[in-house]
Structure 1
Amino acid sequence: MGKKCQITGKNFNNGYSVSHSHKRTKKKQYSNIQKKRIWLPETNSWVTMTISMKALKSLYRVK
């Protein structure tokens, strides 16, 4: 599986790389995707997920 978050589904953004002469070439702007082990208390086990760091931050945010 490629660089895609398993929770939010975000993968990459299309953009342009602009040179000094204003020549534009296509590029991909990837989000911060990492493999992390997440503890699931309902199943009492660890799960390895490919997740964006913004989704990980929202998982452990104190309410």
Structure 2
Amino acid sequence: MARRDQLTGKGPVAGHSISHAHNKSKRRFQVNLQKKRFYIPEEGRWVTLRVSTQTIKTIDKKGIKAVLDEARRQGIKL
């Protein structure tokens, strides 16, 4: 499975590791993904999603229903 957020599509980005001598080597900044279960009361079921911690904070703020509706409008199947 790709290291990608299931709701936002956020994935790893590339950059440099820079030493004290300012030597640069390529590296990847991974997304902090967590496997989390959410209960959707309107549908009466649990959904397990692999989402980033930033998305978990957004779900806590807006609610799972609003975030899922927004993702479905963007064409994400859940």
Shorter-chain TM-score above 0.5: yes
More contact order relative to length (CA 8 Å, sep ≥ 6): 1
- Shift of residue 21, structure 1, vs aligned partner: 2.3
Higher strand share: 1
Q: Given residue 27 of structure 2, which amino acid in structure 1 is its aligned partner?
A: K
Normalising by structure 1, we get a TM-score of 0.85
Aligned to 2:69: none
Structure having the higher helix fraction is 2
RMSD, aligned CA = 1.7
Corresponding residue pairs, total = 63
DSSP 3-state at the match of 2:58: helix
Identify which range, 29-38 or 53-62, moves more after superposition. 53-62
- Consecutive unaligned residues of structure 2, counting only runs of 5 or more, are 64-78
**Structure 1 outlier segments of 4+, above 4 Å:** none
Change (3 A) 1:33 1:15: same
